[in-house]
Structure formats: C-alpha cells, structure tokens
Structure 1
C-alpha cells in the first residue's frame, strides 16, 4: 500500500470557530465530526481534526501549508482582506499586507484563530 496522509489533530482554542475559519477560507463543506473533534475534510479524504486540548491554556503554534489553485487563491486572499486578517508575503512577517511570487507561484502567510501559522501557495516548492 502506498503511503498517504490521512489526518492530523489541530489544537484549537475553540474547535468550531477554527473549523469554520478553514471551511470559509478554503470553501469546504461541513464534514462528519465525532467525539472531541470538529473535522474539516480536504481532497483525498484527508481530515483536519480540530480539538480543544484539556488542561492546555496556551496553544503552541504549528505551521500548515495548503496548495490551492489560482482561482481559490484569489478568492481566499480577497476573503482575508475583507475580513481584516493580517497577512504577510513571508514567514518572518516582515512584508505585511503583501503576497509573494516565489517558487513560480503565489503565496501568503497569516494566522488562524488559534494562532497557527498558515500558508497558501499556488505552486509546490519541489
């Protein structure tokens, strides 16, 4: 069997809020959820499972990058701007309010409601 990515648990302050943020931004439908998870389903059945972690007051930042097509990038970027979400062209956050055109595509960095560093790109790095 080939190796494929199936799911990851994404720590959240409020799992419903985080899941809705990703669904709205990436234009994804609601997915079945269970137990302590609010799920967001990506292509190929990959699940982002948002969970509030018991006994954890401060969430450690993780980085999640999403490869999207140019049309979705345009809509997602418009959504970020319309929502007043701070964003940068670089992971060091030195170019606020911009996107980048590195690696032959476009990219943007921002934070989700839990403080995770999110990246949208239109071309893979490799």
Structure 2
C-alpha cells in the first residue's frame, strides 16, 4: 500500500484571508470555499484546508520548492516587509539558511503558524 498525505486542516482566525496570504506568498491559488474550508493545493496534490477557529495554536508547515521558486517567494516575503528567520526558533532574524546545499527561510503567517520554505529536503 502506498501512503501519502492528502490534506491537513489549518486553524485560522479568518480562513479566506489566511488561505489567500499563503497562496499569494507561494504563488498558488486559494480555491473557492468547500464546506467549512478554504483549500490551498500544492503541486503534489496535498491541500491545506483553512478553517475558522476560535483559538489558534501555531503549527509548522514546510514547503519544498525549486531554487528559482525560492527566489520569487523570498522576494515576496521581503516586498511585504515580513519578518523572516534562518531557523525554526527565530533566533537568526533577517537571514536564510543553507542547509544540505540548499536554501531555507521561515516566516509567520497572520495566525502565528511557522511557515518554512526549503530547496533541499533534510537528510
């Protein structure tokens, strides 16, 4: 049997705004609302299903992209004046990392979710 992640629910204070924020940064599209969710689908078919929640506890989401996609995404992060870090604990502000021969960056979404974009998978 082949096991693959299909979707995950992302709690948010405003599902539409949060889905559009991520979609805009990553160059994706926030889909029309489906039930209580606003999905954002990645290239491998996984959807992040944004749902309104009274309380939001920040989670971590990581996206792997090509080098050229990283350049565009990182430019969007900087254009929007978002804080970014080279590490998950936000101890290296204004930096990116170069782990495993690639590049990586962390930034927060409006709900405090710790978003990560990398160009090489972690070994």
Q: TM-score range by the shorter chain?
A: over 0.9
**Cα-to-partner distance string for 1:70-113 (whole Å, 9 max, x where unaligned):** 11111111111110000011112111111011121100011011
SS in 1 for 2:44: helix
Measured after TM superposition, the shift of residue 32 of structure 1 is 4.1
**Cα-to-partner distance string for 1:46-82 (whole Å, 9 max, x where unaligned):** 11100012xx2x3111000100111111111111111
Q: Could you list the runs of 5+ residues in structure 2 that have no partner in the other structure?
A: none
Aligned length: 123
Point out 4+ residue stretches in structure 1 off by more than 2 angstroms: 29-33
Q: Distance in 2 between matches of 1:15 and 1:76?
A: 21
TM-score (norm 2): 0.94
Q: Could you list the runs of 5+ residues in structure 1 that have no partner in the other structure?
A: none
